[in-house]
Structure 1
Amino acid sequence: METEIPAMLTAHALAHGTRFTFHSSRMRMKTVAKEELAAMDGESDRCALELTDARVDVLGYACLVAIMSMGRGYHRVSQERLQGRTAENGAPAPVITSAGALVDALPVIGAKRIALVAPYMKPLTKLVIDYIEQEGVEVADWRALEIPDNIAVGRHDPENLPGIVAGMDTGNVDAIVLSACVQMPSLPVIAKVEAMTGKPVVTAAAATTYAMLKALGLKTAVPGAGALLSGAY
């Protein structure tokens, strides 16, 4: 969230003459486990209040699996509650969750069957798959990289991803979710995987950026960020 989304917004600024400022407030989490994720989500109201003190125009909730591990459809509950916090603080602003952004982005590009790569342990990855499938998208093939440490997730080399995708069955999917996690880097290889597979590639970070740009009423075209941000949607 603090690396790839600013990179995409910077690319947007260069392409379209927009200007962005970036503000963050942290929900603590070290190990990507269900208990820590639930505790982390409990801090989201505080973060929304802190960020609206800066009178921001849109808020992004960074952790996809924190939302999805709270139960089916929880992104709608979270977004509504946090938007309520922004209004209570006298600075109403739309709230984008990366979980909601991803499941909303897939129908935009016409994806009904996907292949997915996630850094999580297998039980959490299966929760993510169940959440996405409950939203009407079939996960035809998937890989769980089983990286429990959140810092290690952020340090995973994106250059490993094309090789991982090459070992997956992507022939009958409509799109590839190259990173179902805003913490796992993927932006540098989105174009490479699209060229390699001939499929549109979406990531949690790209979907969040798309949703933020839509909420701000800005052009949804970011060079090098994949099909969703090509400007076609």
Structure 2
Amino acid sequence: MAELHLSKTTITTRMVTDWAPAQAAACVIDGGSDQGINAIAVDADDAHIYLVQAKWSPTGTARADETAELKLFADLTLIDAGESRQFNPRGRAMADRAKNLMDSDLTKVTQVINLMGTKKLSPGVRQVIVNGEKDFNHDGTHVYQCTIHSPEIHARARADQRRGPITLDVTLSPWFAFSPSDQQAYQGVAGRAVGDVRQPALRPQHPQPPQPNAHQQRVGGDPN
């Protein structure tokens, strides 16, 4: 179950960053002393930090809770204060990178809640988000919130697994061309030794990743 849980965290990270699988997987810090965060993604080029918190349920009934959301804001405070030593080794490295980026006033932080379910955020959780964002957004809007549910995660997983078309080169003997319409066509016999078969590996799909105004349930105002 842990392997499946981590893969969904990686998929969620890919959805918000549009990174390759290996790069997204490197952001996962799930384990002991992860402080309740499953992944920390630091996009230095876009000046954007993503804190991913995954809620797993084998029955697809996961939901966010107020305690976990409070913990997420507490973790953001730890990172902002440079207290990365409280994280595990991988988390410490990612938290340090996040702290360096947070020193810029242009940096955005999106807290991503990954739910293995379809439940919307409860009023209590939404109020925790409003209160937490007020603390961080007193000098401008820097912290946002994004919720991604299991149907979206499964759709992205299927898109990532979709293969491209197969290109098949064959030799026709005998053959002749004919043009019964405006589309050129050929007819002939293909021998047993079929020529070069080119089938691409898994082709990554790259839809637009959620920005602070997509796939998000913005609670405290318009992120733009």
Q: Which structure has the greater CA radius of gyration?
A: 2
Higher strand share: 2
Higher helix share: 1
Q: TM-score, normalized by length of structure 1?
A: 0.33
